[in-house]
Chain A
């Protein structure tokens, strides 16, 4: 299963654009499995450093996670203020409490213009972006959260540190071999 929408400058990316491996995650800030994957991805990013580019796309399961949609929109609101990643990290560290008050408190904590975030949340300014991410995910065979793609190929194995890192390194080697 392949990623149908290639990574572009519309994406939230961290790590060099010319890294040998790009890891894309479709995730939901309220999903406990994504919460468990968060430190794993952090750890792998630290270990692989500039050999890895990481991309996060929204895939909120809004019917079972009542705060997931607003959490995703707040992350996008933070992106509009150039602080996507601090917000992203904050959301995964505070998964248990993601009601609107908590989201705005988080936005304040990382130094966002909170009134702007509140307004954008109320206006649904970033809803279309979140929907678009979701839609690219369904088209690419996202089958739950989190779903990872390593250099565009869906990673169907486990995502514990060892398995995911091994898969990433293997993809990196494949990349290096002409």
Chain B
């Protein structure tokens, strides 16, 4: 695995499917902070999983003007079923073909099991990575680190 991209690095742009007929590019989200949440796989078998948690915390992210985007190596049909079942209100990107290409560019692909790390990136309005965190793959990182990073960005913007 290549090294995980660090704070201060421009976030590599990408275009991935959100739904079978819709794609999203990171560059489209310029102008406001973006939370990019890599997670290993859809359908993890607990109800308080990371994806569900972020769905609940979304209003708190939005208070900082941030957009949340989930990303895993699952395909767009899988994402669609998963998003419907969890009633998600934010997009899940399919890093599916070529598999894990975006995860590799961010340095968070897991060769051993073909998924990605649980890695969080907070990207500022200019597209620069300002904070990142990799959680042990079996530990849901929660939302506190993201909120603190967004708070720091906001504090900077309004001296």
Q: Among residues 131 to 159 in chain A, which have CB atoms less than 8 Å away from a CB atom of chain B?
A: 134-135, 138-147, 156
- Given A139-B144, A139-B147 in contact, is the A144-B49 Cβ separation under 8 Å? yes
Size of the B side of the interface (Cβ < 8 Å), in residues, is: 23
Q: Which residues of A contact B52 (CB under 8 A)?
A: 61, 63-64, 144
Residue pair B48, A33 in contact (C-beta under 8 Å): yes
Q: Name the prevailing secondary structure of the A interface residues.
A: loop
| Neighbour of A64 across the interface among B50, B87, B144, CB < 8 A | B87
CA distance in complex: A118, B47 (Å):
29
Q: A156 touching B139 by the CB < 8 A rule?
A: yes
Assembled-state Cα–Cα distance A134/B55 (Å): 13
How far in angstroms is the closest Cβ of chain A from B40?
15
Q: Roughly how many angstroms separate A140 CA and B147 CA in the complex, as a whole number?
A: 11
Report which of A31, A135, A156 forms a contact with B48, defined as CB distance below 8 A: A31
Q: Is the CB of A138 within 8 A of B147?
A: yes
A33-B48, A63-B55, A156-B139 are known contacts. Are A140 and B87 too (CB-CB below 8 A)? Answer: no
Q: Is the CB of A61 within 8 A of B48?
A: yes
Min Cβ gap B35→A in Å is 13
Chain A-chain B contacts (Cβ-Cβ < 8 Å), number = 66
Assembly CA distance A144 to B89 (angstroms) = 18
List the B residue with the shortest CB-CB distance to A140: B144
Q: How far is the CA of A156 from the CA of B139 in the complex (A)?
A: 8
Residues of B within 8 A of A142 (CB): 53, 142
Contact indicator B142/A138 (Cβ below 8 Å) = yes
Flag whether A32 is at the interface (Cβ < 8 A): yes
Q: Bound complex: CA of A62 vs CA of B143, how far in Å?
A: 16
Contact A61 B142 (CB under 8 A): no
Separation of A138 and B89 alpha carbons in the complex (Å): 18
CA distance A156 to B47 in the complex (A): 16
Find out whether the CB atom of A64 lies under 8 angstroms from the CB atom of B140: no
CB contacts (< 8 Å) of A174 on chain B: these are none
Q: Which residues of B contact A (CB under 8 A)?
A: 46-50, 52-53, 55-57, 60, 86-89, 139-145, 147
Q: Give A residues with C-beta under 8 Å from B.
A: 1, 4, 28, 31-33, 61-65, 134-135, 138-147, 156
Report the 5 A-B pairs with minimum CB-CB distance, sorted nearest first: A144-B48, A143-B140, A143-B142, A141-B142, A145-B48
